[in-house]
Amino acid sequence: MTSGRSPIPIPDRLLDHAVRRAADRCAQPGQLAFTARQLYYETDRTLFPLHHGPHRLRYTTRPLLSPGRFAGALARQPQLPVLPDVVEPRPHRPGPEGDLYDYAFLRLLVCQDPAIAAMLLANRIHLEGACPILTPERLPLDARLLAALERADGAVVHVLHDASPVGLRLFSRVREHAGPRLRVRTMGLLPRHAAALHLAALVGQPRCEADELPSELPAAERAWLARGRVAELAAVRPARLLRTVLRTVRGGGFAPPARPAAPTRARDTGFLTWPTP
């Protein structure tokens, strides 16, 4: 998306009020940490509640708030505790962390968006879920980390990604690096999750051919992605995202499959099964 005017004119006073109201919603419950991008989507929902359709319907919407207008409103309210959307990757250096590889890990989370990964860490999900959180620049996975996972009985590598061709390629890449001895599961997003949650999806993104996408995905989902639509993780409300991640890394009450799950066989846990607040 490019900055510019919103499709519907919004006075600055109304926009500023909506940003503050959206920030309160993002922080609930318990003063959660959230990113500027998450606040953008929540502000869009506050101004244009297109997500309030019947739950039995499956659809996505378009964000109607101009990113440029939102950035201006956010700049006028520096008191809001917003995490940055751009996280500078830090080079991995061997150190005390190496001692952790002497233990066995039951689960590992690879998160596509570094800003979302930072948000999960800020909310201490890695501690509550006893789950290290990595970003794509840490691929290929360290051999010592893989060995620690293999020492745990039934260890799972979870991949948290956008509903996008890039996100699906990340899942495939992690599965390739993990090898045949580790279970790799997609936590989402998938187009079906975006439709179930009535998320705002970006349009006009780079297109691809449907046959370039995993053949296991339903044809409707491949067509949705091929038309240049993308649903970002940031579009999911912070509280729901945190609950979903925590429930999934803790096990969610499901038995892991006998082999790594393809995107199509991913269970609809988390994004589809968590009740609304």
Backbone angles phi, psi at 38, to 5 degrees: -65, -40
| Cβ 201 vs Cβ 194: under 8 Å | yes
DSSP character for 83?
A: B
The residue extents of the domains of the chain are: 12-75, 99-265
| pLDDT at res. 231 | 97
| pLDDT at res. 7 | 65
Chain centroid to CA 205? 18
pTM for the full model? 0.84
| pLDDT at res. 100 | 55
Q: Is the dihedral of CA 73, 276, 129, 252 positive or negative?
A: negative
The residue ranking higher by pLDDT, 243 or 180, is 243
| pLDDT at res. 210 | 87
- Of the pLDDT bands very low, low, confident and very high (cuts 50, 70, 90), residue 104 is low
What does pLDDT average to over the chain? 84
Percent share of the chain, pLDDT over 70: 82
CA distance 19 to 2: 19
Mean pLDDT of 130-143: 91
- Of the pLDDT bands very low, low, confident and very high (cuts 50, 70, 90), residue 142 is confident
Q: What is the CA radius of gyration of the chain?
A: 19
The length of the chain, given as a count of residues: 277
Q: Which residues contact 61 (CB under 8 A, 6 or more apart)?
A: 48, 50, 51, 198, 199, 200, 201
Residues 196-219 have pLDDT tens digits of 999 999 998 988 888 888 888 899
Mean pLDDT of 106-116: 95
Residues 89-103 have pLDDT tens digits of 665 554 444 455 555
Residues 61-89 have pLDDT tens digits of 999 999 999 999 999 999 999 998 887 66
- Of the pLDDT bands very low, low, confident and very high (cuts 50, 70, 90), residue 34 is very high
| Cβ 230 vs Cβ 248: under 8 Å | no
